[in-house]
Structure 1
């Protein structure tokens, strides 16, 4: 996606305005007043997927332009001559960390072709001005020179490149936790003929932090002389905009001993929806984490894409719950905050992942459906976790499959709790557990040994196999929790007892 491409699509539809969002989405319209009544946004900072030199909105923020006749395309860049390593290209060898990448964009991982020129061409293609090699096989890139040097120099860039037979110093591709960084002079494109943006407008109003029921600060009692402003009735001449999620009742939050340390998502809170008279109501756009006092707010958010909607049954409905409805063909959520907070990547770290949802029988075909994947993309599936309704495994390039389990498919049309857990066995490996609970009132648990293996928390995706682009979940997802510890039998029973009234479960797991 580029500005030119989006504008050409708007011209084809005779639309006078167009906008770009999230680096790759193109919208068009005819009523500029709908834009001008919105709040100005400062979040349009995401490069276009097809041209990193252009800005295509941001996460839930839209860059809006006026459509004009198509300008002649810029001339192609000059041919790239074979590059020879010269002294001013080398920035140096610097420390890197998997929780804070000094060059944040992973361009490629190659076990046969990686070298300086290979990585340089990748950076040129993406319009990035800094590139570096790490661990002999990884190519990273970025734009921020201060960030590139922020973790200090390193003397560990001594791993040979996988794509070079030479053992000389110029054939080294960084090392473990060390990246060899180079700079290149980027080609400067001719000035764009596109107009300046009219307005950067957010797609939805960010929901307020959720801490529990509001109560006045005892040190500052409310002044009866200044009653709160009355709510203004909606204006029928304007479209409906996303309402702010209601303040939560404290009883709806997990008790402190059961609250997760890495991620706490509950569809009763923090879901931002978009309503438009021309489209289906309650389109779910984003899902923000429940904020709890025990952990500083991380702003953890899933950006929801595709046919996602919010179901909000009446509070009196027995066995019904607010949930994200995944349409089964295109809806999925991408964790936009990078790495999970408080996640331990050590090979024998303990964790528990809790998923509470129900499958839609009308969308229950023969293909497996995805709960969640970690670190699983088309170019990098090292240290990945893969979990669907039929299988769960952990895989790394170094260890292969350290755990692989075929799981029974849950029953459709009823709320089920699925739990995948790991703990160290005290002997250098791990013990894996899979538990399932539903209307039967039986907690079924499978436990088996597993190998020690790191699990990275980048590229966290729910509802879709992001690497293969399929295995969409079809149904409702109400709860998604990630713990940085192993949940024992008593804690699992505590979760069942807490959520039993909401999901109409039997209260005594057998």
Structure 2
């Protein structure tokens, strides 16, 4: 039997149906028994049988789907942004775009390891790394989103956080970098608190707040919103607290409901607006907040905990974190809520 013919037989076996495979196996068996002295042919037939067994096994054991755990090992959700979940061009953030529908690497036990930006080509260094205790929740407990595809979120246990070591002021292309200035910005956090934020302080987004550098830091927690220009322990720190007492103490985020919290600082940094979209509401809630033109550093982006003081850990889920180099309008924020509505039921109360 020529080599070309043997390869042709192997190719037919690899593309054969299970019935055809069985016929080929039966033919090979009888052929071997009837021609004991044709050793090369027998070896070729044995090779063909081996290939047929591989082909048959592929029919019985399908290749694991994307995101499935394989033998208790590491699994990876889609690294590139999911096109069906992507924001429209006018709403795409310039600085950071984390959406749990994509970009999460998770161990076989479900522990979240890293979370990449939805646009990794534009911002390849935008990677949040997690301490132990954070897990992936593929279907968050929301009546409106229980059956929604892609309604994924990172669950924070009350002892873990996600931290990005690369500076937002350096990573990505020029247009994607955080401007350490007093210019406009928008920060968006979408999640769900399991511990009552009115009584338990929990971090949403911290920026430039490290254990050695206390300057130019944004501290955004469930009952505090502040920007620090210097050492907060010194009298000349020029620290400003942005309406924390009136806004977040009297109007804390809800518990056990999905909510999108948005901080918009206007151009010139002398005024700001706080927005909230939550499950079942018909429209956005908004509050004007005081603002002093202070710069915010682009280093040490942290979600779910206070990296510097090792406290204020969140208990609940985070589904998205967005950072813009511009001030979104009220219409823009409404459109953001509409984008996430199908997954998290934001502004779903009807007219």
TM (norm. structure 2) is 0.69
Deviation at 1:285, TM superposition (A): 0.9
RMSD of Structure 2 on Structure 1 (CA): 2.6
- 2:134 aligned with 1:322: no
Asked if structure 2 preserves the Cα contact closer than 8 Å seen for 1:378 and 1:468, the reply is yes
Which of 165, 173, 189 is the matching residue for 1:336? 165
Query: Helix, strand or coil: the match of 1:421?
Result: strand
Match for residue 130 of structure 2? 304
Deviations 1:235-292 (A, max 9, x none): xxx84222232476422110110010000000110111111xxxxx211111111117
Asked if structure 2 preserves the Cα contact closer than 8 Å seen for 1:241 and 1:274, the reply is yes
Match for residue 277 of structure 2? 437
TM (norm. structure 1) is 0.48
- How is 1:178-197 mapped onto 2 (pairs within 5 angstroms)? none
- Structure 2 Cα separation of the partners of residues 413 and 390 of structure 1: 17
Q: Point out the structure with the larger strand share.
A: 1
Max Rg structure: 2
Match for residue 290 of structure 1? 118
Deviation at 1:469, TM superposition (A): 1.0
- Structure 1 Cα separation of the partners of residues 303 and 90 of structure 2: 25
Match for residue 240 of structure 1? 72
Query: Helix, strand or coil: the match of 1:469?
Result: coil
Q: Decide whether aligned partners of structure 1 residues 364 and 489 sit closer, same or farther in structure 2, where only a CA change above 3 A counts.
A: closer
Asked if structure 2 preserves the Cα contact closer than 8 Å seen for 1:403 and 1:451, the reply is no
The number of equivalent residue pairs is 265
- 2:232 aligned with 1:390: no
Query: Helix, strand or coil: the match of 1:400?
Result: coil
- Structure 2 Cα separation of the partners of residues 413 and 450 of structure 1: 30
- Structure 1 Cα separation of the partners of residues 254 and 183 of structure 2: 31
- 2:317 aligned with 1:483: no
- Structure 2 Cα separation of the partners of residues 253 and 317 of structure 1: 23
- Structure 2 Cα separation of the partners of residues 390 and 289 of structure 1: 27
- Structure 2 Cα separation of the partners of residues 249 and 458 of structure 1: 27
- Structure 1 Cα separation of the partners of residues 133 and 161 of structure 2: 8
Deviations 1:157-212 (A, max 9, x none): xxxxxxxxxxxxxxxxxxxxxxxxxxxxxxxxxxxxxxxxxxxxxxxxxxxxxxxx
Deviations 1:414-457 (A, max 9, x none): 100000111224xxx52121111112233111113322111001
Unaligned ranges ≥5, structure 1: 1-228, 276-280
- Structure 2 Cα separation of the partners of residues 382 and 262 of structure 1: 20
Deviation at 1:388, TM superposition (A): 0.6
Query: Helix, strand or coil: the match of 1:424?
Result: coil
